[in-house]
Each structure stands twice: as C-alpha cells, then as structure tokens.
Structure 1
C-alpha cells in the first residue's frame, strides 16, 4: 500500500509555490498552559492526536497579516520543522513533527510580529480513544441504510432556522428547500433501522453548506470542520456515532475531496494562486462565473484510463468545476492535499467512523486520491472506503479497486467502489419480458462480469440512491419486480446499500429522476404527519408487507456466513427462471427468481452439483419446509429464498 507521498514530499515541492520558508531547530522544553488563548481566527485541524504512524502534521493558520509573524512554540516531543508563507499575507502553514515521546496535552503557539506585538493560540494534542486496528470498516457482512438527513426526521425543530445563514426558512412543499430533518432525527429512530436488519448507516453530508439555495443536500461544504447547525452540533454527530457503536452498528461518513461550496470561507481570500482549479478564470470572471464554468468542464471520466485521451480533455474533466457553485479543489497543491487528508483522518478519529464514502471519486486528481486512500488505510488497516464511480462500465468500476492489474500500473488503495453497472443490469433484466428468458440473462451476465473484479464482495451494490430514481419508480410500480430485485441484491456477493424509504415503496412517479422528489420526506419524521412509517400508522397493506419482507431477508442476512463470505454459484436463466446459490460449510442458500405469471414445477436435476438431494430447506419468508428432491413447485411469479439453516 502506498505511503502518504504528498505529506512526506511537502518539504520538497513547496518551493514550486514560491513560499518563503523558515526552519526551526530549537530544542523545546514543555511549558504548562495556565490559560487557554484563542487569538487566531482559524487554526486547522483544530486539534490533533498523538500516536499516528505518520508523525507529520501541517497546520493551516488564518489571520490578518499572519504571514508577517514568526511562530514560536515549546512542547516536549513536538518540533516546528518548517514555516510556509502563502501568496495571501493572511495565511501561514506550519509543519510540525510529533514524535513518539510526545504526550497528550495543551501548548501555546506564539506568533510574534516585528513591532513586538504577539498573538497566542493554544493547541491541543489528544490521546486516541482506541487502537487503530479497532477502526473496523464496513464489509460484505453489512447492509447499509442510506439517508438524506434533511428529509428523514426532524427531532429538533429549534434548529430549523439559524440566524445569519444565507438560506433561511423551512418549506416542505418545495422539493429544493430545507425541510428540517436533522442528526437527532436519525439517532431517535435507530431502533427502527436496527430492527429492519441494517448494520450500518450512511447519511449524506451533514457539514455546513452556507449557500444561498439548495443547501439541504450537503455536497457544497463551506467549512470542512463544522457541522451544519441546522443538522445539529459536533456533539449530536458524535452521539449518533456512539449510539450506533453501542448497537454494534457503523457510521459511514460521506466526504467530498473534489470540491467545496462557492461560499466556503476561503473563497474570499484564497491562500495560493492555485488553491482551486481554474482560479484565474474565476477571479477574472467572478461576476459571470456561471458562464465560464460551462466552458471549462466536462464529465468524460474515462480520460482517467483512456490511453488516447487528449491533455485538454483530461484537464477539463479533472479541473473543471463540477457545477458553477462548487469550486474544484486543486489537490496538486501539496498544502491542499495535506488539508484534505488530515481532514478525513480528523473525522475518522473524532467520530470513530466505520467507513467513508467519497463523493465524485474520478473527478479529483487520481494520483492524489491514491495517496489520500493510502494515507487513511495506512493509519487504519481494517477500515473501509468506497468511491463513487458513476459508470455502467465494469472496466471502470474494476479500475478503481485496490489491487486491480491496470495497464498504467495505477493502484487506487481503494477497497470498494460503487456498482452502478449491476444496478442497471438488475433493473433492465426485470423490466424486460420479450426475450426467451424474459430478460434474466442481463442479470446473470452482469454478475458473471465479476471475473473482472479483484474482490467482488467488497464492491457496494444498490438499486437506488439520493441521485437516482426510486427503484419502485424504475419498476413502474411493480411490487413483485421490486421484491425480486431487493432479494437478489441482498443475496449477491456484494456490500448492499438500500435507500431510506425503499422499504415502504417511496417513489418519484410525478417527475422520475427529479432530485428533490427522490429525496422526499420520510413519513412520520415530522410532528403532525398523518402517516408514520416508523410505527406503521397509515401505511397501506403493500407498504407494510414490503417492510416485513425486507426485515425478514435483512435479519436472515445479518447472521448468514454463506451470504457474507460464501462461494457463489449461479445457473444460466431458462424459461424465465434464474437460480443463484451461496454456499459455506453446512449452510446453502438458494435464491430462485421466477418471472412466469403461471405456476410451474422446477426440475431440480439440473442443480445436482449443489449437493442438496434429500435435504430439508426452509423458505425464509414463509417458513415453509420443502424437501429438495426431483422438483419443487413454484406457485407465483417472484422470489423464493431457501436455506439449509434451521434457524
């Protein structure tokens, strides 16, 4: 696995940015802190920890004319290696080395000006709460519940409006306004999520998006160290993580390395001339940037792999702004690179995370992303990161997974990527009825593509999410197809993710694919809701049935070693029937998809190699016991899930 090249090479490459540097080789003696002082506008990371493998820490210091000051500090085991001045006089970057002898505690950093004036900032090094090996990430034993926090549950109406923020007001009739959901709303309903059978929760970002509009979704961050007060506080975020941990569940944090929000605090005073991509165009056309961004970006993500791609196409993909109000961060600037890496580690340590989902993975500088993932996995060897590669091409999905044999020798250090290809195969297979196998070969061949992946079971699969149309809508309101898709999803050698509300057939029929509608409020999350999906009050019979159906499969899956890590065997679809099996030791699960409208008798001779002859199997939905003999009767279109486990 790669080491943290960008951090270690900072001292070599910083001169590229014409920064003036000073070196401190003073012997330091610990000085007790008698009073905490916070004279400096910003120091990030706001605190750090002792005991990391990488002993380097780079502090971003932001304060008027701080570039003219000389920093001094004295703390046993901590040394100032270099001081970097930025292009803006209002920044300094301090390279610290934290040795193995350093102890947890507080110390003062003094910033002295030539006129004798002095500013003091108290900085803290903390002890780590648990060993690095105990940060265990998500894997194929998990089932992940994806939530859009603003639309899930409003447990604290007092934080619906925060004075001073650019977007004010709650309007639940507007799909693109804020609706008031918050972190406490997730914590309040963990019983519901756990009871369904989920083992991990992935909320869309909850860091502050102080934007004039569209701030509810969370992907335009304006401070990478601050929780959006409309979602809660750092304490409520930590409470969510702690509550999940107490249930042996995991919190996955949605992070964004590619871009920030246009109103991020540093956009008014950028540290370097290349802090964001196309910065010169932004500064030149700041009043008409919406026009310029369309001239400098494309979404041709294949330029990351394409051996024939032009440099201009690649630059426009990697450097172009994702949209006009999301500036593209320049990770080739080593100070930006350090900033992003340290921010990710800070959140892992602060929340005790069980994983990271990295947004828009292929849009960032890919060498940086390898260093970023490598830095995290070096510190936390049992951790997990999944990257979003929105592609239906298995070649691209496989390229980003760690250990894949790429022709360009690229290794991502990324354990997991997202399986958009399989999502499409499942939807297309179940929607098609014209072919001899009624379309099921698309699903079969989609899974057969696993030969291209280094570790298929570490890939995250899904049917819908916060960016794609609801699966019930994709199946045009067909409940049976929806059930077949979900059961197959949960039997595959993958890490499954299910979007909130899928369990109650939430849809976007009124305008399929509309982002605001996809992220509809979860019924029962607001006081006064006439329907409450948490309690079942007001749900239709079909919605209640789907809840129970998913609950039965998820809770079986939670304790199934065969599904988590077993051998996979499937049989090519014939006559509208597709059979998938998962096998480990004495446990075999057989998943049968039947697309025939009429009852049928399935000849079992073809499946002899499963070794089930004469054995009793239980239907995990109906609890019916069948004997695997010459044939079994399948009464209806749909899924049948059989297991050799008795309980």
Structure 2
C-alpha cells in the first residue's frame, strides 16, 4: 500500500476486461459470444487484461489520476461474467485477466512504482449462481439428452475450471461438466429432483426442477445462503434475499461465510492493494458490517501496516439509493450516509437476530433522529479538527450527487444537502456516471455534451469529495449509449464497449497530468479539449490542499456554484475561494493577497470582500490566499479551451 490521505487522489474507474487488450491469448468469448453479437464484431467479452492495463498506466497518469478503481479480480463463473461481479473462487485470480509477466501482483507493483494506487472492487454480498468454491457449490440436475447435450458437458475429473483453460473433450473454456448430475446426489436437499417443471427454455427445451440455481428450491443450504427473492427494495428482505439468479446471496450473518470472505480479501491486502470499493454494500445489514467485516479489515490492516498507515486504506461502499431524496424513500437503512456510522444501540449476540433488531430500531427512529456531523463544514473561515469517533470505517459513493448530475448546478445544490448526515462527506466518491447508471438512474452514459462535462469536472475537482471518472468519459466515449444490455446486444454498442482503439500507441507521463511524449491514436486522444481540461484540473487540485482535503462553506458566498474551502494540519494551511462557470462574491473572508490558480491574477483584499469572474461554462477561478509559510502556487498549467482568463 502506498499510503497517504486518499482524498489527495483522483480516481479513474476501469472495467479491466474492456479497457485495453495487452495479451490476445487470454481473450475469451464464453457461451454467449455468438448470441450476444460479440462474435460478429470480433469482440470477446474478456478482452482487456492486466497486461493491457500495465501498458496504459502512463495514459492514466498522464490524465492526472493517481488511483485506479478496477472491477473484481476473483475467478468468476456465469454465462456472461467479464465484469467480475459473479465471483466463483474467491481465492483465485481470474486467469482471463492475467498473463506471463502481467499477474495481478505485477499490476499492483508496477502501478505503485509509478505512484498509482489500486482500489479493488470487492463483493461480500453474493457469489456466482454456482456458489463459491471452498464454501459451497451446488450440483444441479442435468441430462445429456437430445435437448441438453450441448449445455451439459461430459464430466472430466482431471479438469479444473479457471475460465481460461480449454477442456479438451468439450473444446470449451466455459466447461460445465463439473456442475451437474442426472442421478440424485447423496445429501441432496433440492426438492423434486429432476421432475419436469412444466416450463420450457427459450429454445423450447424442457426445464426440470433443480436444473438451475434458485434460493427457494432447497438447493442452497440455509446456513450459508439466503433462501428468498427480494420483494421490497426498501424492506428488511433487501438485506437478506437474492438480487438475481446469477447472484447467489451469502448468509453473511453466518460465521463460516464471514470467515471465508475475510480470509479471501485479506489475501489482497497482503498483495498491497490500496483500498476496497465495496459492491452492493446496502444488501448487508450495517450491524454485520460494523460487527464483523469492518473490524476484521481494520485488524488486518493494523497488523500489516500499523494503526497510522492503516487509516490510509480507502474503503468506499456502493449503497445504491437511486432517488433524489436526502433519505432513500424515507428508509434510513437503505440510505448511503447511514453506512458511515457506528451502531448506537446494543443488540443480541446472534447476528441474524441483531440484524432484525438494528433494522427495526433505526427504522422506528426514522430520518429525523439520525446522527449529524460538521466534519465537512468550515466554521466561518476556520478549519476544525474532524470528529471521526463515530465513523464506521466505510465511506460511500455519493449517490445523492450522482443522481442529480443531470447538470452541475443541480448536483451542487442538491448534493450538498446530505452532507450533514454523512460522517465525513469530504471522503465521498463523486462521479457523474458509471458501469451501471447515468444520472437520475438513466440507463445510458452521460450525453450532456463536452461543455457540460467540462462544467461537471470543474465542480467535482474543486468541491468536497474524491473525483472519479468512468473510463472514456474524458472523450465522451459511448455518450448516450445504453450502458448494459447483458448478452442481448453486442458490447460494442454499449457503454461497456472496448476502449483500446483510443489508446493505441505509446505515451510517457513523467508526472501526473503531464505527458512528455505520445504517438499513435493515444496522442490524438490526449490532444482533445476535454482531456486538456481534465489534465489541468488534476494539476490544480494536486497543488492546492484545500481542494483535496478541505472543509467547505457557502456562508457569505453569492454565485450559482461558489464556495470557500480550507484545510489546516501541522504546517499546512490552505484557503481557497472557488467560482465555477460564473461570477461570485465572497464576503467576510480574511484580508490578504489571493492569487488565482487558473489565470495567475492576484487580488489584495482589505475589506473582507473578493469578487471572482469565470466566464464560460466549465471555466473556473480558484483564488488561493497567501498565508505564512503557505504561499499561493500562482498560475498552474497552461490555458485550455475551458480554463482561461
């Protein structure tokens, strides 16, 4: 782990299998290669890899990013598993991502050598539909008759599935011979084994009971897996039932399940990853996080790095609240900020009972009786030491801003409304769109145009939180395209399309946001106006501590998007006034000399008032106060189409 305050970093989010193909030998199309339309495009679902990511680390550094969030790396198993969220063997790296000389460890080490952090996406809530190897994998009913012989491969006891190796008998890397049995196996608990269900597959084939994994069939043991489908997404069952047939829901209140996951993810801490992005965090009770997973994570980090450096490990959870409300349809248990807090009541020792007790206790208290925090806010113009004594250990993706990012002013005005209910909103991960949704739960990638993207970036890179960009947004890649349609359409037509053509060629980045040489298609990409804007924003943010870690205030500030920020710690004292896409007046500020990081212009304030003017959408003013032993940096970077006088 590199260490250092995670708020100093900007994050670039990549789907490894779709970013850059460094080794064609590990490309795999899977069972849906032809049906999806990927075959017609010569575009296997597993295409990008660690080799490709290693080769393009300088591209990411050249954009100015110092942290990379990558999709899950554990061995997956499903019909369409390139994204990484269908974990099958949590103790094994997916072989379709690795190459000789380009293992996951090689990626971590090479990134660290360049000053780049690796944030690994992890899943505690569920496994693949085929269970989790080493914990429980179900045997399903299968028969190699005239209808199903294409699907149920002949068993080969000497072959172990790893997603990459081709089983010689079937000729498949997506071999299924170890998953099925026609005779009812010893110890089977699945009801009505092999009985015709009365239903037919899409091909018109008979479907039998116990042929497909299901929570309600008795196929999965109740001590290890939950036994229901979610019925109410704001109810208790959203934390104790299955999301989808491909996502077998762990009984995370069971000690054996807990230890399996703790042991699996401790291995990646030993490899040196710098943080975890936690998938589907809302679907595990907060009390389970606070009792089991987060303390185990902290204990592991302290034992490896010591208490001080352990705090630099960045944990941010996905609590998918797709509403514009401060609280998710009035349910505190399903709201992102809820997960940043420790428990405030004592519950039963049994984790299953405690989960129900915690849900009811907080649900009955409601939204008006939740803890509040001033950790993100200045006191006038003064930074104050934050109080993290009630912090759970999990930061969050800022779903409130994400949902409101139809435009930057809306995200700013509505997003900050939740900050008093987050333990410390300066640690929020902020993005416009992702591999799942665009703003307002749009199913398409953001398509507001380059000017709107420039404005969004100017806000994210100067307001509180950790700015995060989904791969390709720097060139409006796949803007307006459906983000995900599963195997029902080619990946090339979606927001998860292969990015490699845009970064072919060579690039050298001696520093963050600085490119010394580039050739080929990547040179064209790096020369685009929005990329230049992003590079300069990263340079400015890295030079002004207030923009990275500062508390903020809008007190005494006029302007559509304007705020003051300050960070004070030890010898560092950084105070900045920010205006985005227009004029702003700041009153009641300290007197002194303020210098704009965009233009280099200085203003001497003698009456506590400063007026800043940033003309043009996405343009920006960052007036930094010269303080003892903390001089303003002056103009940072060269003028761009969006950042200029």
Same fold (TM over 0.5): yes
The 1:139/1:442 distance shift into structure 2, 3 A limit, reads: closer
1:640 counterpart (615, 620, 628): 620
Identify the residue that residue 249 of structure 1 maps to in structure 2. 116
Say whether the 8 Å CA contact 1:154–1:526 is kept in structure 2: no
Match of 2:314 in 1: 384
Aligned counterpart for 1:579 among listed residues 546, 550, 562: 562
Q: Are 2:118 and 2:275, in contact at CA under 8 Å, matched by a contact in 1?
A: yes
Contact 1:617 1:626 in 2 (8 A): yes
Aligned residues of 2:129 and 2:213 also touching (Cα < 8 A): no
Q: Which residue of 1 aligns with 2:399?
A: 420
For 1:430-445, what aligned pairs fall within 5 Å after superposition?
430=408, 440=409, 443-445=412-414
CA distance in 2, matches of 1:635, 1:494: 25
Give the conservation status (yes or no) of the 8 Å contact 2:14–2:71.
yes
Specify the SS of the correspondent of 2:93. coil
Higher Cα radius of gyration: 1
1:394 is displaced (CA, Å) by: 4.1
**1:554, CA displacement in angstroms?**
1.1
Partner of 2:537: 553
**1:618 offset after TM fit, Å?**
2.5
* Pair 412,331 (structure 1): closer, same or farther in 2 beyond 3 Å: farther
Q: Which stretch shifts more, 202-211 or 281-290?
A: 281-290
Q: Distance in 2 between matches of 1:366 and 1:511?
A: 32
Q: 1:416-495, aligned counterparts within 5 Å?
A: 416-427=395-406, 429-430=407-408, 440=409, 443-469=412-438, 476-495=447-466
From the superposition, tell whether residues 422 and 536 of structure 1 become closer, same or farther in structure 2 (CA, over 3 Å).
Answer: farther
Between the aligned partners of 1:501 and 1:241, the Cα distance in structure 2 is 22
Q: 2:211 aligns with which of 281, 284, 287?
A: 287
Question: Could you tell me which of 256, 279, 283 is aligned with 1:363?
Answer: 283
Q: 2:247 aligns with which of 317, 321, 326?
A: 326
Q: How does 1:4-403 map to 2 (within 5 A)?
A: 136=3, 139-161=6-28, 171=38, 178-211=45-78, 213-232=79-98, 236-264=103-131, 265=133, 266-268=136-138, 285-287=209-211, 296-298=228-230, 300-303=232-235, 314=236, 316-349=237-270, 351-370=271-290, 371-380=292-301, 381-382=310-311, 383-391=313-321, 392=323, 393-395=325-327, 396-403=335-342
* Deviation of 1:241 (Å): 0.5
Change (3 A) 1:360 1:242: same
Is 1:373–1:385's contact at 8 Å kept on the other side of the alignment?
no
User: What corresponds to 1:507 in structure 2?
Assistant: 478
Partner of 2:590: 611
> Residue in 2 aligned with 1:14?
none
**Structure 2: distance between partners of 1:612 and 1:260:** 58
User: 8 Å contact 1:387–1:418 — kept in the other structure?
Assistant: yes
Alpha-carbon separation, structure 1, partners of 2:614 and 2:108 = 44
CA contact (8 A) 2:67 2:118 kept: yes
Change (3 A) 1:347 1:441: closer
Give, in whole Å, the separation in 1 of the partners of 2:137 and 2:518. 42
Asked if 1 retains the 8 angstrom alpha-carbon contact of 2:503 and 2:521, the reply is: no
2:643 aligns to what? Answer: none
Q: Which has the higher contact order (CA 8 A, sep 6+)?
A: 2
**Equivalent position of 1:27 in the other structure:** none
Change (3 A) 1:480 1:253: same
Residues 433 and 445 of structure 2 are in contact (CA less than 8 Å); yes or no, is this contact kept in structure 1?
Answer: no
Distance, in Å, in 2 between the alignment partners of 1:153 and 1:639 is 32
What is the deviation of 1:476? 3.6
CA contact (8 A) 2:579 2:614 kept: no
Give the distance between the partners of 1:190 and 1:535, measured in 2 at CA. 15
Q: CA 1:510/1:519 → structure 2, altered by over 3 Å: closer, same or farther?
A: closer
Q: CA RMSD in A?
A: 3.9
Whole-angstrom distance in 1 between the partners of 2:451 and 2:84:
34
Q: String of CA shifts for 1:6-45, please: whole Å, max 9, x gaps.
A: xxxxxxxxxxxxxxxxxxxxxxxxxxxxxxxxxxxxxxxx
Structure 1 residues 402, 490: CA separation in 2 closer, same or farther (over 3 Å shift)?
same
Instruction: Tell me the secondary structure at the aligned position of residue 74 of structure 2.
Output: coil
- Determine the C-alpha separation between the residues in 2 that align with 1:483 and 1:611: 30
Q: State how many pairs are aligned.
A: 467
Report the secondary structure of 1:518's partner residue.
Answer: coil
Tell me the equivalent position of 2:153: none
Any conservation in 2 of the 1:192–1:534 contact (CA below 8 Å)? no
TM-score (norm 2): 0.64
2-side partners of 1:446 and 1:282: how far apart? Answer: 51
2:553 is paired with a residue whose SS is strand
CA 156–269 in structure 1, closer or farther in 2 if over 3 Å, else same: same
Q: Normalising to structure 1: TM-score of the pair?
A: 0.64
Q: Secondary structure of 2:529's partner? A: helix
Query: Deviations 1:607-629 (Å, cap 9, x if unpaired)?
Result: 1223366x342243xx4525367
Shift in Å, 1:389: 0.2
Q: How far, CA to CA, are the matches of 1:327 and 1:216 in structure 2?
A: 17
Tell me: CA distance 1:543–1:478, structure 2 relative to 1, closer, same or farther (3 Å): farther
Q: How far 1:510 sits from its partner (Å)?
A: 3.9
